[in-house]
Amino acid sequence: PAPPPAPPRSEEEEVGVAAVAAFLGSPGTGIPAARAQAAAEAGAAHGILSLGQLLQRWLGGESRELAAHLGLSEEDASVLDPQVEEWETRVQAVADFIDGGCGSFTAAQARAAAESAAAGGVKAVGKMLRRWKREQRGGRGPEAIAELLHVDGSRAIEVVAALEEWGRTDGVDAV
């Protein structure tokens, strides 16, 4: 008999699987988007429902087991090794910024927001500030950051305030 269908994923899990697919299909991996999506779906079937789970388990010594679960080759896994390290460092730096600058976020919520940002192509605080400035020039408000981070409007406003403060102080050279 066929296995029972997987329970429907939550919105948070859908965002996580999309982030895994974005990572796997990012420039430098050599994995085409369709294969990256299929690998992310295979990972979800094995309980990998966020980019953080993938990155942290990969770095925790499970890289080859994870690659097998994702249907990736040994060559794919070797190419992913440095990518995983780079993404983990960058995502954690953005998470630390959000956690440190926005009091309403727990560390786990800041990490989830940073993973969403990375999936949207934003893996640095300076890049997030540039994205915010570009969205502002285009007539959008904090909802643009809410969409990028998958957070509600009040949290997006808090992140925007932290970004603008960072831009005035630490990030002057980044903008």
Share of the chain above pLDDT 90, in %: 86
User: What's the mean pLDDT in 40-54?
Assistant: 94
How many other CB atoms sit within 10 Å of the CB of residue 80? 24
The residue type of 132 is W
pLDDT in tens, 83-126: 999 999 999 999 999 999 999 999 999 999 999 999 999 999 99
Quote the tokens at residue 72: 């990736």
Instruction: Please report the pLDDT score of residue 175 as a whole number.
Output: 44
Sign of the CA dihedral with 111 first, then 12, 105, and 102 last: positive
The mean pLDDT of the chain is 92
User: Do residues 166 and 105 make contact, with C-beta atoms less than 8 angstroms apart?
Assistant: no
